[in-house]
């Protein structure tokens, strides 16, 4: 069985060429392999700071940018070789949800417009009654009351409502994968819960795989099954959230988790961590990219590029500290497998109990 | 003035008050007393009470965090303290006493000299507050020369150079940054420059409005810790404005919770987090996701009221799980609970401690 979406040793670089040549090269995504399976829908978090390449990874998965190296496969076929028809299906099956619920709307149109347009574009409804029913179902799925939402202008809705309308829009297209790029970072804390909850329901109840891109490990821990942590384009740690969050193995993940401001005044931050040195361009780094900031740095870290080492069954870390352990499969999602099977079994149970 | 190093300032009154932060030096001296401050916006459809009858006191050396959802009036309040409220907004009532002077009554020129030398603002999204076509050093000099207190001579070029190097060093930037333009710096570095400008005249109060809202967690932590270090060196007080309860728990000594333009609860951070009094604070703290245990998401049902059509009684009444017959009828008054805690909620009437 071929996977739904597959990244096979994908690299994406920016810069370098140009009129004057020799510009500095930024490696936004560095040799990343992963698979998104349709049969085992899960929520996977891609976490990292700005500049870690997480948004570039999302753009690759959306097909809005092409890899500089490696291949992206959609249902087993190279993405660059898709026919128009296949590409159109891809556009329906993979849906984005963006960060800013203010900029995704045209302020001159009522919110109905963002829901009408995809139905029209993909000819999903045969009558206007069917269209109305589809829209109402989608809104109810994300916890909105259709009568209170439809017919309004974007500015009449709160940020949380607007973002949920966006989730409903994605839902209308019956996608297989939803890519949510920081969907709650611009929404008030008290409203985040409802949005994340509606995203989780899409996964659990409709079997849609979700790639949740965020810098917020707390919400990642709450909603996702798996996590991959990126640093300067490299996946430095991956695994199930239950393995990674309580016991991070890469020094960067450790720093990241330690730095999260915990809502607990009894448990305050330790000393100030060192600043990142952005002046070294990626190309010049021969060893580990985190070496200059790493508290556990060894001499070899500056010269040897670490591989992905397997820790336990459901966790890998790209760090020489774990060199004694086995080398993991380059496809980081293989680490999640066991968890995925558990979910598939749970989903089958759920389906059986509902018959 | 500019030359003396920041660490030279030491508290004169060692009358420290109880605090939970190790190394904190909070004295019983009132640095800022806000009393009954109201900021209204007059619009065609009525008066918007963005900030209504807010009173609180900040001690010297204290870190006070003002939290609330967007639209709760926290930024309005911060701007009013700086006297930067723009029309149609205006300060309708109240006083802001800083260093024994009422800022509300100062002339515009007096206020300009007070800014930066007595109270400084580290703005929200400081990365956008720098002038893109000016070198960093010139932006720092600009601030110093423009806000120099009365009766002080303008510093010489040498003094300024030394001051700039000193300031950049304090905020953790290399001296070369002085000759750079904002686009050459990362977001975190720009935020550090904004802090350097903020402390350049050694203010006694720093107002930081969501200083790290667009930054990554690690950078956020670095910036907040730098800000804390600067504040301690200056013996200044800080008012942190934001909605990130995690950040508040990590940074502040005291928390003030705003809802629909009113300050509904004030108290020491540890006590408010472990034993919140106001039903809104309770729900807010419950809704925080945790890294330790997986639990169901609990949001706060409903939406805050529109500030232009505030209810007759308590503004939180519609969403409140503990409401009773008095709530829709009368606006709850602030009730002192003792131990620097206060709450504005009918549930606590009769518990007043003077």
pLDDT tens-place values along chain B, 354 residues long: 445 555 544 444 444 455 566 666 777 788 899 999 999 998 888 888 889 999 999 988 899 999 988 778 888 899 899 998 888 889 999 999 988 889 888 888 888 888 888 889 888 776 678 888 999 999 999 888 888 877 777 888 888 999 899 888 888 888 888 999 988 887 778 888 988 888 888 888 999 988 887 677 888 888 888 888 888 888 889 999 988 888 898 899 999 999 999 999 999 999 999 999 999 999 888 888 777 777 776 777 777 888 888 888 899 988 899 988 989 999 999 999 888 899 999 998 877 665
Could you tell me the two tokens for A3?
């996977």
Query: Mutate which of B193, B215, B216 to test chain A, going by most A C-beta atoms within 10 A?
Result: B216
CA–CA dist B207, B277 (Å, integer): 26
Q: What is the pLDDT of residues A154-173, one digit of tens each?
A: 888 877 788 889 889 988 98
**Cβ separation B273–A255 shorter than 8 A:** no
CB neighbours (10 Å) of residue B53? 19
Q: What is the pLDDT of residues A238-252, one digit of tens each?
A: 999 999 999 999 999
- Name the residue among A178, A115, A183, A101 with its Cα closest to residue A149: A115
Architecture field, domain B16-274: 3-Layer(aba) Sandwich (3.40)
Confidence at residue B89, expressed as pLDDT on a 0 to 100 scale: 87
**Cβ separation A190–B172 shorter than 8 A:** no
A214: nearest CA in chain B? B216
Highest mean pLDDT among A22-31, A97-106, B88-97: B88-97
Contact A142, A198 (CB under 8 A): yes
Could you tell me the two tokens for B253?
């000594």
**Cβ separation B294–A159 shorter than 8 A:** no
Instruction: Report the interhelical angle of A112-121 vs A159-172 (nearest 10°).
Output: 10
A25 versus B90: which is more confidently predicted? Answer: B90
Could you tell me the two tokens for B275?
């034993």
B153 versus A341: which is more confidently predicted? Answer: B153
Q: To 10 degrees, the CA torsion angle through B80, B84, B86, B92?
A: 30
Could you tell me the two tokens for B93?
């009532």
CA–CA dist A112, A120 (Å, integer): 12
B185: nearest CA in chain A? A278
Contact B220, A217 (CB under 8 A): no
CA–CA dist B247, B243 (Å, integer): 9
The angle subtended at Cα B272 by Cα B301 and Cα B248, nearest 5°, is 85
A351 by DSSP, 3-state: which?
Answer: helix
Buried b (16+ CB within 10 A) or exposed e, B320-348: beebeeebeeebbebbebeebbbbbbbbb
B39 by DSSP, 3-state: which?
Answer: strand
A176 by DSSP, 3-state: which?
Answer: coil
CA–CA dist A322, A309 (Å, integer): 6
The pLDDT confidence band at residue A103, using thresholds 50, 70 and 90, is confident
Confidence at residue A347, expressed as pLDDT on a 0 to 100 scale: 63
**CB nearest B246 (choices: A193, A260, A273):** A260
Q: Which residues of B touch A279 (CB under 8 A)?
A: none
B72: nearest CA in chain A? A188
Q: Which residues of B touch A152 (CB under 8 A)?
A: none
The pLDDT confidence band at residue A342, using thresholds 50, 70 and 90, is low
- Separation of first and last alpha carbons in chain B: 42
A95 by DSSP, 3-state: which?
Answer: strand
**Cβ separation A190–B220 shorter than 8 A:** no
The whole-angstrom distance between residue A293's C-alpha and the CA centroid of its chain comes to 25
Q: In what order do the strands lie in the sheet with B101-102?
A: B46-59, B30-43, B89-98, B101-102
Confidence at residue A38, expressed as pLDDT on a 0 to 100 scale: 79
DSSP for B85-149 reads: PPTTEEEEEEEEEETTEEGGGS-HHHHHHHBTTTEEEE-TTGGGSS-TTS-HHHHHHHHHHHHPP
**CB nearest B291 (choices: A50, A190, A262):** A262
Q: Which residues of A touch B23 (CB under 8 A)?
A: none
- Name the residue among A160, A185, A204, A168 with its Cα closest to residue A47: A185
pTM of the model as a whole: 0.80
Contact A41, A207 (CB under 8 A): yes
Contact B49, B261 (CB under 8 A): yes
Contact B272, B339 (CB under 8 A): no
Q: Which residues of B touch A218 (CB under 8 A)?
A: 246, 289-291
The full set of domain ranges for chain B reads 16-274
**Cβ separation B221–A257 shorter than 8 A:** no
CA–CA dist A212, B268 (Å, integer): 36
**Cβ separation A194–B297 shorter than 8 A:** yes
CB neighbours (10 Å) of residue B17? 16
A57 versus A15: which is more confidently predicted? Answer: A57
B18 by DSSP, 3-state: which?
Answer: coil
DSSP assignment, residue A322? G
Runs of H (alpha helix) within chain A: 54-62, 84-93, 112-121, 128-141, 146-149, 159-172, 189-206, 217-223, 241-244, 251-259, 337-354
Q: Which residues of A touch B244 (CB under 8 A)?
A: 189, 261
**CB nearest A264 (choices: B219, B273, B303):** B273
Omega before residue A66 within 30° of 0, cis: no
């Amino acid at each position: 069985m071929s996977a739904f979406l597959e990244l096979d040793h994908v690299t994406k670089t920016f810069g370098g060429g140009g009129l004057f040549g020799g510009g500095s090269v930024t490696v936004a995504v560095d040799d990343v392999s992963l698979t998104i399976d349709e049969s085992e829908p899960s929520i996977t978090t891609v976490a990292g700071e700005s500049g870690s390449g997480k948004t570039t990874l999302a753009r690759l998965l959306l097909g809005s940018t092409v890899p500089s190296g490696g291949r992206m496969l959609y249902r087993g076929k190279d993405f660059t070789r898709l026919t128009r028809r296949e590409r159109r299906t891809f556009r329906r099956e993979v849906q984005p949800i963006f960060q800013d619920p203010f900029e995704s709307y045209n302020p001159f149109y009522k919110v109905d417009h963002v829901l009408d347009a995809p139905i029209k574009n993909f000819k999903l409804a045969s009558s206007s009654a069917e269209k109305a029913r589809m829209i109402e179902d989608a809104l109810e799925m994300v916890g909105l009351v259709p009568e209170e939402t439809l017919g309004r202008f974007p500015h009449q809705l709160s940020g949380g409502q607007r973002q949920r309308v966006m989730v409903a829009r994605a839902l209308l297209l019956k996608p297989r994968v939803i890519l949510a790029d920081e969907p709650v970072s611009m929404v008030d804390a008290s409203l985040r819960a409802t949005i994340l909850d509606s995203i989780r329901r899409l996964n659990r109840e409709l079997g849609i795989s979700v790639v949740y891109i965020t810098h917020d490990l707390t919400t990642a821990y709450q909603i996702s099954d798996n996590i991959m942590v990126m640093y300067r384009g490299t996946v430095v740690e991956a695994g199930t959230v239950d393995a990674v969050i309580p016991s991070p193995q890469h020094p960067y993940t450790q720093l990241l988790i330690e730095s999260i401001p915990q809502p607990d005044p009894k448990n305050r931050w330790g000393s100030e961590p060192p600043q990142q040195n952005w002046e070294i361009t990626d190309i010049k780094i021969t060893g580990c990219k985190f070496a200059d900031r790493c508290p556990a740095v060894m001499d070899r870290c500056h010269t040897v590029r670490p591989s992905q080492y397997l820790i336990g069954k459901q966790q890998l870390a790209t760090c020489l500290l774990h060199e004694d352990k086995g080398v993991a499969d380059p496809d980081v999602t293989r680490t999640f497998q066991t968890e995925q099977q558990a979910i598939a079994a749970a989903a089958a149970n759920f389906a059986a109990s509902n018959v | 003035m500019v030359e003396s190093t920041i660490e030279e300032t030491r508290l004169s009154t060692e009358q420290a008050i109880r605090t939970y932060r190790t190394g904190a030096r909070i004295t019983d001296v009132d640095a800022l007393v806000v009393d009954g401050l109201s900021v209204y916006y007059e619009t065609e459809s009525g008066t918007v009470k963005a900030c209504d009858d807010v009173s609180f006191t900040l001690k010297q050396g204290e870190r006070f965090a003002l939290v609330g959802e967007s639209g709760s009036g926290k930024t309005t309040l911060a701007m009013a303290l700086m006297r930067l409220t723009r029309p149609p907004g205006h300060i309708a009532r109240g006083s802001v006493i800083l260093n024994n002077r009422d800022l509300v009554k100062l002339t515009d020129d007096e206020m300009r000299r007070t800014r930066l030398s007595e109270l400084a603002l580290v703005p929200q999204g400081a990365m956008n507050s720098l002038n893109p076509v000016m070198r960093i050093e010139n932006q720092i000099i600009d601030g110093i020369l423009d806000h120099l207190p009365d009766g002080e001579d303008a510093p010489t070029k040498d003094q300024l150079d030394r001051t700039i190097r000193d300031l950049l060093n304090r905020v953790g930037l290399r001296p070369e940054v002085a000759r750079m333009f904002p686009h050459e710096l990362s977001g975190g570095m720009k935020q550090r420059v904004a802090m350097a400008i903020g402390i350049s005249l050694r203010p006694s109060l720093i107002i930081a409005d969501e200083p790290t809202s667009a930054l990554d967690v690690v950078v956020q932590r670095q910036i907040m810790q730098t800000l804390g270090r600067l504040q301690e060196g200056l013996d200044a007080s800080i008012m942190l404005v934001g909605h990130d309860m995690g950040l508040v728990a990590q940074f502040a000594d005291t928390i003030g919770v705003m809802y629909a333009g009113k300050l509904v609860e004030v108290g020491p951070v540890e006590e408010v987090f472990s034993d919140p009094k106001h039903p809104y604070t309770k729900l807010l703290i419950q809704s925080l996701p945790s890294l330790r245990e997986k639990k169901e998401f609990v949001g706060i049902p409903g939406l805050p009221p529109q500030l232009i059509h505030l209810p007759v009684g308590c503004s939180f009444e519609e969403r409140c799980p503990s409401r009773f017959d008095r709530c829709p009828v009368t606006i709850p008054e602030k009730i002192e609970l003792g131990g620097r805690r206060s709450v504005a909620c009918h549930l606590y009437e009769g518990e007043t401690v003077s």
